[in-house]
Amino acid sequence: MQYIITAYDGTDEKAMDRRLMAREEHLKSVERRVKEGQHLYGAAILDDNGKMIGSLMVVDYPSKEELDNWLKVEPYVVVKVWEKIDIKPCKVAPIFMNLFD
């Protein structure tokens, strides 16, 4: 099942510090999950000044339970970078899935 994850960072004064502290581990985790076919696409959400304020990801997990298991170990969740996470099921069009063949 495919999902769109929209995750917004905290807005406190330490939010960017937490993001930068966890960024390397987050990117390593994403790279591994891309190779495993679980993460299809991702992007940082920016404010009007170009500052990172969140993340958007399209992921593919066999079940919501497996998605939830990933979120339990996702570095941005563990160190509380993401304050609000919205998860919606989706269906990526087949033409876009061909990018991963």
Percent of the chain surpassing pLDDT 70 = 97
User: What pLDDT, on the 0 to 100 scale, is given for residue 100?
Assistant: 59
Task: Give me the pLDDT at residue 94, please.
Answer: 83
> How far, in Å, CA of 15 to CA of 19, rounded?
6
Which residue segments constitute the domains of the chain, with CATH numbers given?
A: 2-100 (3.30.70.1060)
pLDDT digits (tens, 9 = 90+) for 41-67: 999 999 999 999 999 999 999 999 999
Are residues 58 and 90 in contact, defined by beta-carbon separation less than 8 angstroms?
Answer: yes
Q: What percent of the chain has pLDDT over 90?
A: 89
